[in-house]
Amino acid sequence: MSDETDNSGLWYREDFGDSVSYLNRVEKVYFSGKSKFQNIDIVELGFLGKTLFLDSKIQSAQIDEHIYHEALVHPALLLHPEPKKVLIIGGGEGATLREVLKYKDLDKAVMVDIDGELVEYCKEYMPEWSDGAYDDPRAELIIGDAKEYIEKDGEKFDVIISDLTEPLEEGPSVFLFTREFYNKIYERLNNHGIFVAQSGSAFTGIAQFMATNYKTLGKVFPEVIPYQIFIFSFSMMWGFNLALKGLNFKNELKKVNKRLTDKAINLKHLDYNLIESMTVLSKELKKELEKGIISTDDSPFFWTL
């Protein structure tokens, strides 16, 4: 385990399957160690800036974390007529919570993350990500199993956001992407509720996770809208799936521009036109999404490359 040290001259290698590796020069190591659930590296990279890796896979980089987190949070909150209570599953860096709390008329934001050590390391070494969000009186942080929380607690929410790592076979989130879990999510949403999940690569040929997430949600929700945005630090288009309960996407989309203006949400990257354009998919990706399987507790999907 390393504390903050000068490590100029080192390179961080991230393998992408068996054929590709990415190398980034390390300027400084803020933290390198292991929690109960995963390996954690927080490093300063020469081009990407401060960056979080979990199990040697990039999760969030200073250069563009705002793009990822704006894309994850704001389409759902702007499509909802009046979000008052929001639940975040995962989101250990605190940036998802930061974006949610930009809505001044929000009453409550609950964040449930299983890895309390990760949350504390991010607070200490990446405070820019949460930007004081944990001190907001509307925020409630719960360190625990999101599956148990969803199944046992009866509180309902207007928007639920899944900001989890991909369902790796040895990872902690495999059973948080199944049809059974999404049935519980559906029950925990109010009648006009929205669920959104980060869904991995939207790059044609390696979008199996996004496709499976899309198909699985479609077995539970009446309308599922896949969308994508380019994340430079991920080196590819990144996918999300938006699921609506009791709302019509096209009807609510017409109101997003006015809501964005009325609520005076301070966004760095997104505007109404970009939010709308993110739902425009290539013919290839549409075909790939239709090939997704249904992930269940008995037969869960595992992400591999």
Question: What residues act catalytically?
Answer: 163
Cβ atoms of 189 and 215 within 8 Å: the answer is no
Dihedral sign for Cα 201, 205, 208, 214, please. positive
Q: How many whole angstroms separate alpha carbon 216 and alpha carbon 282?
A: 21
Distances (CA, A) of 44 to 39, 40, 51, 125, 171: 17, 14, 6, 11, 25
Per DSSP, the residues of 107-135 read -EEEEEES-HHHHHHHHHH-HHHHTTGGG
Which residue, chain included where needed, has tokens 């036109």? 273
Question: Which residues are paired to 22 by β-bridges?
Answer: 14
Q: How many whole angstroms separate alpha carbon 298 and alpha carbon 95?
A: 33
